[in-house]
Chains A and B, each alone.
Chain A
Amino acid sequence: QKEVEQNSGPLSVPEGAIASLNCTYSDRGSQSFFWYRQYSGKSPELIMFIYSNGDKEDGRFTAQLNKASQYVSLLIRDSQPSDSATYLCAVNDGGDDKIIFGKGTRLHILP
């Protein structure tokens, strides 16, 4: 069974600090990695996509990928209350083009 593991949280971070979210995956054939943000009762929306080892930055968000360790992370700099949400890590199934989602980490930014 291919799995994507995340700490369910909640992760509480003071406003203005860096939030660090982590994810591990089991399928070594995976090539594409995603971070989705989901507000309560709403649909997931993509915030980061990465497929190469290393870091990818987009505004306050940085995704980090280490394929050797099967580890992907998301850093949120200068955290804002509007960043409070559940963050879903997702990984493509190396056998086909489905995506496997983790169960999500709840992030709470403390004002």
Chain B
Amino acid sequence: DADVTQTPRNRITKTGKRIMLECSQTKGHDRMYWYRQDPGLGLRLIYYSFDVKDINKGEISDGYSVSRQAQAKFSLSLESAIPNQTALYFCATSDGLAGFNHEQFFGPGTRLTVL
């Protein structure tokens, strides 16, 4: 089984709908992240969480919210989806006790299309 899983893998929705993307990990990491990737714009950080009670905005948090339900689960919500939120979304995890090695481990991604 994959260490970092994302559901759904693909989703097509309409403008104004509420959407939740879910991420689960079995790596035992304390830190979790949500990114979006758009062609030519690279990976942009939406939200991140360093433990269950810690939630931080990234560079593009407007229009998104998150919930860290447990150490292993981090969900991303779009309260009212709009077309420019069409993108590839990645969840990632890292080990806060890894010293200099802040390696992030990525899930397989969710391709979201907002019509």
Interface of A is mostly: loop
Interchain CB contact under 8 A, A43 and B45: no
Q: How many residues of B contact A (CB 8 A)?
A: 24
Chain A residues near B33 (CB-CB < 8 A):
98
Interchain CB contact under 8 A, A45 and B106: yes
Q: Knowing A88-B43, A97-B50, A102-B42 are in contact, say whether A46-B31 is a contact too (CB < 8 A).
A: no
Q: How many residues of A contact B (CB 8 A)?
A: 22
Identity of the chain B residue whose Cβ is nearest the Cβ of A102 in the assembled complex: B42
The complex places the Cα of A82 from the Cα of B43 at a distance, in Å, of 22
The complex places the Cα of A88 from the Cα of B90 at a distance, in Å, of 15
Q: Which listed residue, B31, B42, B88, B96, touches A101 by the CB 8 Å rule?
A: B42
Interchain CB contact under 8 A, A43 and B42: no
For the complex, is A42 an interface residue (Cβ under 8 Å from B)? yes
Interchain CB contact under 8 A, B106 and A44: yes
A14 smallest CB distance to B (angstroms)? 26
Binds A, one of B12-20, B65-73, B79-87, B97-105: B97-105
Task: Taking A43-B90, A43-B108, A44-B90 as given, write out 5 further A-B residue pairs in contact, using a Cβ cutoff of 8 Å, ordered by the A residue number.
Answer: A42-B109, A46-B105, A49-B101, A101-B42, A103-B42
A residues near B (Cβ < 8 Å) are 8, 31-32, 34, 41-46, 49, 51, 88, 90, 92, 97-99, 101-104
A to B CB contacts below 8 Å, 18 in the list: A8-B40, A43-B107, A43-B108, A44-B43, A44-B90, A46-B104, A46-B105, A51-B101, A88-B43, A90-B104, A92-B102, A97-B50, A97-B94, A97-B96, A97-B102, A98-B48, A99-B102, A103-B42
